[in-house]
Structure 1
């Protein structure tokens, strides 16, 4: 694999686990990304951020490493998660299908999407070997047969339903899903950010209407998926902000500023500006007489993730997230 000016090809995994209320478990899962079962440190690896939400009962860990080591680091973290999380006992407002719910692999520098797909498939195969009884579905560049996006694959499996029966789901890799582990999504795509905007209301119906208005699938903003959840006595618009290759044609000069672009391995990727998403939500909320009280980015933009990864790895700061303790939700 080719390398960046940093000298190493870098990959990120925004590991989504269905646990936020037991901080000891989250600490164990994060540290497992850095050390193997013998306590030996994984080289060129760092956990940049840990973002947890009590109401969601969900955490997102930003794990970064070289293309050579990201697989071992993520597998180690997931194995620990499977050990300490019982999905059958999970309670939270955020939908999920597994204790380890999502393992997305994103290129940061010097690695292609196709190579990330190979890494993701390797992770899925290794997990079902190390954890008998766990199950995987594949998406994006890991899903060679269909290349279905995460949203499409989740929709087909019923991830968005409140009470989905994982026993009825057929796995792409591994055994038939069981209650303890559920089923885990493993795949690769251009970088996806998680951005949450809080509304100063308890009116979930209005929140869902705003989420529908900004969601690409229902005529909203390109690359944006959105759901509304109750959170800390208010309503939160939780957005997935996807990177994509193709900016829409025939856009005005004013609209060009809505997109942010970056480059990896000769490919140009873009995403909708977070400021534009925030402004859109604010305008929609104002029409309903609702104010917003804040916007939180879960972790980093893709550019920030690359720069922070280079810094943490070059300085040997594996537990970088401990420098960002104040960003827990």
Structure 2
């Protein structure tokens, strides 16, 4: 067992896997992070949440642990996912390249992004030894020396264009050439990223794309740190939003809840992100310009502060399968 005190030096992995329609497989992957091969519980691992979307055929599994142990648990979950998911038969509307599509490592408490980058590099190297057929691309601090962002890497690799690797000139950074079964997995660190999905009451994809573009942070009138995509979903259009935490070094936003941005600190550095309420309000306003209402809003995961507090609580109490209890506890 690590000597790291529970509640200190914490990090999380929001593991994105290309399976949501087989609950037993998703939970088996989650449990692989919490239990060893003999069914013994890892005392310093917890799965905080499992979010699965049938149409997307994508699940996000939130694994939290002390930073020096997190890699072991993430590798175990990824190894199980590669055993269970076959990309040659995978179907879903969400873009993806791999059975394990994304392994982002986020700092929670007394850990910085640089340290998470070292853990991410180690995960990539060990994973390709455990599963020799898998292929990994790196981003952020794990992508040395260029440190390209996940957005940059996805554009370079054609993440939005499908996964016919036989016709794509795609090279992995670590591991084998991408295969049709395993695909390509992204591994890297970043400040915490939240996911918020807002459904608008229309089937018009063009309208959805226009609204998504208007909210996107790269738009001059968009929301800083926000990345968006529009998808057909349950007979309507869903605006899927990633809200990245960022250091506001130029003081370009007012980090106060009333401004729509919320701030928090990690190791003395202040990060900010757009609140889910602001995302919802902005999309609702834009939709109304088209005579459309919003149908629902879902926060896929925790806020950074919620994730930190839930991780510390679960680890102190020895709750490995926190996702089964969370609805009746804090929130």
Q: TM-score, normalised by structure 2?
A: 0.93
- 5+ residue gaps, structure 2, are none
For residue 160 of structure 1, report the CA deviation from its aligned partner: 1.6
How many angstroms apart in 1 are the aligned matches of 2:131 and 2:306?
33
Residue correspondence of structure 1 range 275-290 to structure 2 within 5 A = 275-290=277-292
Question: Matches of residues 178-217 of structure 1 in structure 2 within 5 Å?
Answer: 178-217=179-218
Shift of 1:62: 0.7
Tell me how far 1:44 sits from its aligned partner.
Answer: 1.2
CA deviations over 1:204-259 (Å, ceiling 9, x no partner) = 11111100111112332110000000111111000010000126536579997221
- Aligned pair in 2 of structure 1 residues 250, 265: CA closer, same or farther (>3 Å)? closer
**Alpha-carbon distance in structure 2 between the residues aligned to 1:242 and 1:260:** 12
Q: Following TM superposition, by how much is the alpha carbon of 1:104 offset from its aligned partner in structure 2, in angstroms?
A: 0.1
Is residue 42–residue 69 contact of structure 1 (8 Å, CA) maintained in 2?
A: no
Superposition CA RMSD, Å: 2.1
For the residue of structure 1 that corresponds to 2:296, the secondary structure is: strand
Q: Partner of 1:53 in structure 2?
A: 53
For the residue of structure 2 that corresponds to 1:178, the secondary structure is coil
**SS at 2:103's partner residue?**
strand
SS of the counterpart of 1:8?
A: coil
Q: Which residue of 2 aligns with 1:274?
A: 276
- String of CA shifts for 1:40-75, please: whole Å, max 9, x gaps: 322211101100000000000111011121001000
Cα separation, 2, equivalents of 1:325 and 1:310? 17
Residue in 1 that maps onto 2:98: 98
Residues 43, 320 of structure 2: 8 Å contact kept: no
Matches of 1:104 and 1:69 in 2, distance apart? 15
Q: Which residue is equivalent to 2:81?
A: 81
Pairs within 5 Å for 1:170-249: 170-219=171-220, 220-246=222-248, 248-249=250-251
Q: State the distance in 2 between where 1:115 and 1:76 align.
A: 20
Moved more, 37-46 or 310-319: 37-46
1:97-127, CA deviations, whole angstroms, 9 ceiling, x for partnerless residues? 0000000000000111110000000100111
Structure 1: gaps of 5 or more residues: none
Number of aligned residue pairs: give it: 324
Residue in 1 aligned with 2:26?
A: 26
Kept in 2, the 8 Å contact 1:166–1:183? The answer is: no
Deviation at 1:299, TM superposition (A): 1.5
* Alignment counterpart, residue 262 of structure 1, candidates 254, 264, 267: 264
CA distance in 2: counterparts of 1:27 and 1:245, whole angstroms: 35
Q: Deviations over 1:177-213 (max 9, x none)?
A: 0011000000000000011001111111111110011
Q: How does 1:112-151 map to 2 (within 5 A)?
A: 112-151=112-151
Q: Residues 208 and 176 of structure 1: is their aligned pair in 2 closer, same or farther, counting only changes over 3 Å?
A: same
Whether the 8 Å CA contact 1:97–1:166 is kept in 2: the answer is no
The 5 A counterparts of 1:144-159 are 144-159=144-159
SS in 2 for 1:69: helix
Superposition TM-score, scaled by structure 1 size: 0.94
- Once the two structures are TM-superposed, the CA of residue 322 in structure 1 deviates from its matched residue by 1.2
Distance 2:303 2:235 in 1: 28
CA distance in 2, matches of 1:253, 1:136: 36
Q: Which moved more, 1:33-42 or 1:143-152?
A: 33-42
